[in-house]
């Protein structure tokens, strides 16, 4: 049976920490809690489960905090958890069986993160695999009879274990503020974070979030080292910000950049919304239809389903076609998004 260190970073989690640890404590061989500045009873609650509690001065970097927590681990594997996660009885037993049967060559175990769509987070799917269990010390072996090389790719196992995500509140404001602060400081953002920032804006951002992000994504559109996909998602953000600000020339400039790159559902929704606002109903219908049936979303899946269907219903109602409006409203209810 493998041994596992639970590593967590926490801050002001007194309402939910015990719920998480109650579901995990007896599965773990070691519990490590890294506190990044709690001002409530979090550390006191943690102390009832472990004496391995460490303070880490928050520097605005989640990776630094997690790396510090991992550095304190001493077991064969490390399980990384957040305070808003819970394992039910069925999945606790599955975890116990995994400990007994995990093959020694496995470096990473992925588990399903569930209940993601209930809180307006950046995710498009309610159930997604995530890496959760990591071998603490990897072994390296030479591979290949000729032109030998060291195998660097981790051996990953996709388990069926489901972790229920049950946050007390939406973290979008914290995340969007962190992105804005990093870009204000001149951080370029790599491809992954660039995508996550744009995705979080389109899934849960408010108007002021788009307006604050506009300058960064406008600069991304000029960055010759950005990929076509990155430029498309950046242009979507700038177009939305321009529409919010009422800057019509800028809106069309960036909308057409996306259309020239084969388009996407997000920009079709933006064009539909613009034409609906200016009461060009026929044109609004064209673009909402394109969003729902002719293009794919790149940031928010609802831009190719629920959002344009609502736009079509509103457009047909504005045109006096109540029957067609009701048909699209029925699609929203009957089709699963």
- Assigned CATH class of 4-165: alpha beta
DSSP string, 193-205: HHHHHHHHHHHH-
Confidence band of 169 (pLDDT split at 50, 70, 90): low
Contact criterion met (CB below 8 Å) for 198 and 299:
yes
**CA distances to 232, 256, 309 from 263, in Å:** 8, 8, 18
What digits encode the pLDDT tens for the residues 62-116? 899 999 999 999 999 999 999 999 999 999 999 999 999 999 999 999 999 987 5
Tokens 């309402």 label which residue?
15
Question: Domain limits of the chain?
Answer: 4-165, 172-334
pTM: 0.75
Q: What is the CATH number of domain 172-334?
A: 1.25.40.10
Mean pLDDT of all residues in 8-17: 96
Q: What is the pLDDT of residue 145?
A: 64
Indicate whether 50 pLDDT > 90.
Answer: yes
Q: What is the pLDDT of residue 125?
A: 56
What digits encode the pLDDT tens for the residues 218-236? 999 999 999 999 999 999 9
Q: What is the pLDDT of residue 140?
A: 75
Question: What is the pLDDT of the chain when averaged over all its residues?
Answer: 92
What digits encode the pLDDT tens for the residues 197-216? 999 999 989 999 999 999 99
Q: What is the pLDDT of residue 146?
A: 65
Which one has a higher pLDDT value, 337 or 215?
Answer: 215
Q: What is the pLDDT of residue 170?
A: 58
Q: What is the pLDDT of residue 174?
A: 80
Confidence band of 61 (pLDDT split at 50, 70, 90): confident
Q: How many CA atoms lie within 13 A of 32 on its CB side?
A: 23
Q: Which two tokens stand for residue 202?
A: 């389109």
- The SS3 call for residue 31 is strand
Identical fold for domains 4-165 and 172-334, yes or no, is: no
What digits encode the pLDDT tens for the residues 272-304? 999 999 999 999 999 999 999 999 999 999 999
């Amino acid at each position: 049976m493998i041994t596992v260190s639970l590593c967590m970073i926490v801050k002001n989690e007194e309402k939910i920490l015990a719920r998480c640890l109650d579901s995990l404590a007896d599965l773990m061989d070691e519990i490590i809690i890294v506190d990044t500045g709690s001002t409530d009873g979090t550390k006191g609650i943690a102390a009832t489960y472990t004496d391995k509690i460490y303070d880490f001065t928050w520097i605005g970097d989640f990776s630094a905090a997690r790396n510090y927590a991992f550095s304190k681990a001493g077991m064969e594997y490390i399980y990384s958890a957040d305070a808003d996660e819970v394992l039910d009885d069925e999945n606790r037993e599955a975890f116990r069986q995994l400990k007994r049967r995990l093959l020694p060559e496995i470096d990473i175990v992925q588990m399903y993160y569930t209940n993601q769509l209930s809180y307006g987070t950046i995710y498009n799917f309610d159930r997604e695999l995530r890496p959760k269990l990591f071998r603490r010390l990897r072994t390296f072996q030479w591979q290949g009879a000729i032109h030998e090389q060291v195998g660097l790719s981790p051996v990953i196992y996709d388990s069926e274990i489901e972790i229920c995500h049950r946050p007390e509140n939406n973290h979008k404001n914290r995340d969007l503020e962190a992105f804005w602060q990093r870009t204000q400081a001149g951080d370029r953002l790599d491809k992954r974070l660039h995508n996550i920032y744009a995705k979080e804006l389109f899934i849960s951002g408010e108007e002021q979030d788009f307006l604050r992000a506009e300058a960064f994504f406008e600069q991304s559109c000029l960055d010759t080292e950005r990929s076509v996909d990155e430029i498309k998602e950046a242009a979507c953000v700038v177009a939305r910000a321009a529409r919010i600000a009422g800057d019509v020339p800028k809106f069309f400039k960036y909308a057409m950049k996306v259309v020239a790159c084969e388009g996407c559902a997000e920009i079709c929704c933006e064009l539909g919304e613009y034409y609906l606002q200016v009461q060009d109903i026929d044109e609004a219908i064209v673009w909402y239809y394109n969003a729902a049936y002719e293009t794919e979303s790149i940031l928010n899946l609802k831009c190719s389903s629920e959002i344009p269907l609502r736009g079509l219903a509103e457009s047909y109602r504005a045109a006096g076609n109540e029957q067609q409006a009701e048909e699209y409203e029925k699609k929203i209810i009957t089709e699963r998004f």
